[in-house]
Amino acid sequence: MTTNPLFGAMEGGGTKFVCAVGSGPDEIVEEVRFPTTTPGETLDRAIAYFQKYDLSAIGLASFGPVDLNTASPTYGSITTTPKLGWAGTEVVAPFKSAFDIPMAFELDVNAAAFGEYSWVPENRRPETLVYITIGTGIGAGIIINGKLIHGLTHPEAGHMRLPHNLKADPFPGNCPFHGDCFEGMANGPALARRWGMPAETLPDNHPAWELEATYIAYAVVNVILTLSPQRIVLGGGVMEHQSLFPSIRGKVRDLLNGYIASSVFSGMMEEYIVPPALGKRSGVLGAMAMAKKLVEKG
């Protein structure tokens, strides 16, 4: 058992919750996962799990959209999700009632960005990093000068507009709000609907991947031009198709066309556009980093 302070970390997803207790990625005491059912049942289960431990702080991450404005009366809740029964759910409040310790709350993709930022060795840490998740949904967590960006709500870069050549790709997109935005064109369900088979069954040589890499590259280029990040992490279920990486890197280089004067574009960009160093655990370990930061600040 570790002698370091123990932190609780929760990553609440639309299909499952992951909870962990520990002091860092190499000092995990216990990690559990359970299915997302009703809000009451699921959050009670997470609370009961954390109550087994003497924790110094808790980091909570949730699928969104969420209210991150601490001055808002609905701070700490999920706002407009289409997930049945979860719109308006207060995530932080039940934990506040159960524990009298510092607590941090973030959108899941923000926590993943913070995890990727926090747990890399300090001398290799980029101060500006963007984590894009491409799965059932698409979202981006943005860290500028070591801080997660919040604003009106939180960035929703997954819904940015991309060039869409309707002749080459007549698929209209599946975003209920925007049709052919980034998420509508490139999330897992869009792949499945466009090609008539689940993304994970599309063979390596299927044209689906070339088109997918093109859309992701457009989005990555927009992010590079807007935020000038020092690292871009691409995670989520769709990115488990590893051959997307070299393809995206090449397309990004072609689209930038030599415009950005940085040595990162002269090489293979293997350390610039990268898979998550923490694998599927960026979110829960990011929540742990959020909890740790609260205690270090105090």
Which of residues 125, 150, 159, 293 is near Zn ion by CB under 5 A? 159
Least separation, in Å, of the C-beta of 140 and Zn ion?
13
Least separation in angstroms between CB 192 and Zn ion = 17
Residue 119 and residue 285 in contact, taking contact as beta carbons nearer than 8 Å: yes
Rule CB under 5 A: is residue 178 a binding residue for Zn ion?
Answer: yes
Does 113 sit near Zn ion (CB under 5 A)?
no
221 vs 141, 179, 187, 255, 270, CA distance in Å? 16, 21, 18, 7, 16
Nearest-approach distance from CB 268 to Zn ion, in angstroms: 32
Q: Between 164 and 231, whose beta carbon lies closer to Zn ion?
A: 164
The piece of 57-65, 105-113, 152-160, 200-208 that touches Zn ion (CB under 5 A) is 152-160
Least Cβ distance, residue 145 to Zn ion (angstroms): 28
Amino acid at 248: I
Q: Which stretch binds Zn ion (CB under 5 A): 62-70, 121-129, 140-148, 154-162?
A: 154-162
* Contacts with Zn ion, 179-198, as mask; x by CB under 5 A: --x-x---------------
CB of 159 to Zn ion, least distance (A): 4
Q: Which is nearer to Zn ion, 125 or 178 (CB)?
A: 178
State which residue, 159 or 293, has the beta carbon closest to Zn ion.
159
Tokens 């989005």 -> residue: 219
> Which part of the chain contacts Zn ion (CB under 5 A), choosing from 6-14, 41-49, 170-178, 268-276?
170-178
Q: What is the distance between the alpha carbons of residues 236 and 83, in angstroms, rounded to a whole number?
A: 19
Three-state secondary-structure class, residue 135: coil
Gap between the Cα atoms of 182 and 68, Å rounded: 23
Which parts of 243-272 interact with Zn ion (CB under 5 A)?
none
- Which residues lie closer than 8 Å to 163 by C-beta, 6 or more apart? 218
Enumerate residues 6+ apart whose C-beta is below 8 A from 154.
64, 65, 66, 68, 107, 110
Judged by CB under 5 A, which of 134, 175, 186, 291 binds Zn ion? 175
Instruction: Please report, in angstroms and rounded to a whole number, the separation of the first and last CA atoms in the chain.
Output: 24
The answer to the question of residue 161 lying near Zn ion (CB under 5 A) is no
- Binding-residue total with Zn ion (CB under 5 A): 6
Q: CA-CA distance, 145 to 283, in Å (whole number)?
A: 20
Q: Closer to Zn ion at the Cβ: 125 or 159?
A: 159
Helices (H), 65-186: 92-98, 108-118, 182-186
Summarize as ranges the residues that interact with Zn ion (CB under 5 A): 159, 175, 177-178, 181, 183
